[in-house]
Chain A
């Protein structure tokens, strides 16, 4: 549990949350960012790190990962604090008028301004459409491995064909009582050396591989006892296991923002186009999460929104100071902040 006081709390470290750090920084405003992912970049690094983007002004071609790396470089002088791997779970107004953004890890960020740069919401693991799976989550069904010890001497079932499925097959096989990997085909979207290692374990009888999918779960009180598997020929059989790890990547769900008490329109936050503030004073929304007449979900639009938001945020954080409009090219003051003065 840690409490931080700052000027601006930013929810989301996608490209727009990152650029907001820059625009706020030029105005001497400090920021803390929260993201459920374990690294910056949002959609750019999670969905298309290797794909080229062609419509960033001044960068004829840049991949999702490169754009993120460059933004991180650009905002470095402003020393923002990142809280990765944490879900922003609640937003409350304090008696002194400031806001408190709380995360599921117990982090509390107190600031007069909150910027929601949450994209389409948070990235969460895909949940297989198997009836009653919720009842086993956290006990027998896990979408990530937090403590490997929890799988010692267990009969583990892993589903999926990507790097997570393969990596955890290799890591858990030595400590599990038994380990079975199920995938719908005999091919994998994973690093070749992991696939080779997995096949060696199968050949040595240490891992079982089935071309199948999980159709049903059986057990009681959250404790899994067996699953029904179905092969390519639709034939079904029962497989005994007590831990099930489905690895099908991430998907985007709006998540806790829905319960922040903000005005939402079809899962988006309506804002004005002068300040990009929501209908709640002090809460701004920029990037893919906001909506207004003519909105385009483009990175370029989000950057513009960040710049205007920062001007308005300044007046809230420093109500008695006058905002001076300056260019980075000619202002020695701004250049000092950027650490580029000769």
Chain B
């Protein structure tokens, strides 16, 4: 699967997702500026992304833990998600995300 990620200066990056890995891990390993301080434990809110509207409904819904942790994220919008809580799968081929400001 592919992930299309827009960074904070607006540049688009096409990344290879790995089945079962989190989107955060793919962004981080590609060297994009995602802090992901807690390493994917849903404990820091520094892996915040905006998900393209057309993909929003295709993701598995937020857990209560993710909804709570998003309270600690900055500049939250209706399409905000924590990228460590989105798991790569073929169903998400072409997923578009934008890294939130910090």
Contacts A48-B38, A51-B41; is A129 near B71 (CB within 8 Å)? no
Q: Would you call B43 and A47 a contact (CB within 8 A)?
A: yes
B89 at the interface (CB under 8 A from A): no
Contact with B along A115-130 (1 / 0, CB 8 A): 0000010000011110
Q: Would you call A251 and B44 a contact (CB within 8 A)?
A: yes
For A126, give its contact among B43, B69, B72 (CB under 8 Å): B72
Partner-binding segment picked from B10-18, B20-28, B53-61, B74-82: B74-82
Q: Which residues of A contact B38 (CB under 8 A)?
A: 43, 47-48
Q: Would you call B72 and A187 a contact (CB within 8 A)?
A: no
Q: Which residues of A contact B70 (CB under 8 A)?
A: 184
B95 at the interface (CB under 8 A from A): no
A184 nearest in chain B by CB position: B76
B46 nearest in chain A by CB position: A251
For A249, give its contact among B45, B77, B78 (CB under 8 Å): B45
Q: How far is the CA of A160 from the CA of B72 in the complex (A)?
A: 7
Contacts A47-B41, A48-B41; is A161 near B71 (CB within 8 Å)? yes
Q: How far is the CA of A126 from the CA of B46 in the complex (A)?
A: 10
Q: How far is the CA of A162 from the CA of B76 in the complex (A)?
A: 14
Q: Chain B: interface residue count, which band?
A: 20 to 34
Q: Would you call B71 and A188 a contact (CB within 8 A)?
A: yes
A183 at the interface (CB under 8 A from B): yes
B37 at the interface (CB under 8 A from A): yes
For A189, give its contact among B35, B71, B77, B78 (CB under 8 Å): B71
For A248, give its contact among B37, B74, B78 (CB under 8 Å): B74
Q: How far is the CA of A128 from the CA of B38 in the complex (A)?
A: 19
Q: How far is the CA of A307 from the CA of B99 in the complex (A)?
A: 41
Q: Would you call A189 and B72 a contact (CB within 8 A)?
A: yes
**Chain A residue total in the interface (Cβ 8 A):** 24
Distance in Å from the Cβ of A182 to the closest Cβ of chain B? 11
Q: Would you call B74 and A129 a contact (CB within 8 A)?
A: yes
Q: Would you call A47 and B37 a contact (CB within 8 A)?
A: yes
Q: Would you call A47 and B74 a contact (CB within 8 A)?
A: no
Q: Which residues of A contact B5 (CB under 8 A)?
A: none
Within 8 A of B (CB), among A253-293: none
Distance in Å from the Cβ of A113 to the closest Cβ of chain B? 29
Q: Which residues of B contact A161 (CB under 8 A)?
A: 71
Contacts A47-B43, A184-B76, A251-B44; is A162 near B71 (CB within 8 Å)? yes
Q: How far is the CA of A128 from the CA of B45 in the complex (A)?
A: 13
12 A-B contacts, Cβ less than 8 Å apart?
Answer: A47-B38, A47-B44, A126-B74, A126-B102, A129-B74, A160-B72, A162-B71, A184-B76, A185-B67, A248-B72, A249-B45, A252-B37
A interface list, Cβ under 8 A from B: 43, 47-48, 51, 120, 126-129, 160-162, 183-185, 187-189, 213, 232, 248-249, 251-252
The 8 closest A-B pairs by CB, nearest first: A161-B71, A129-B101, A189-B68, A249-B72, A189-B71, A184-B76, A47-B43, A47-B38
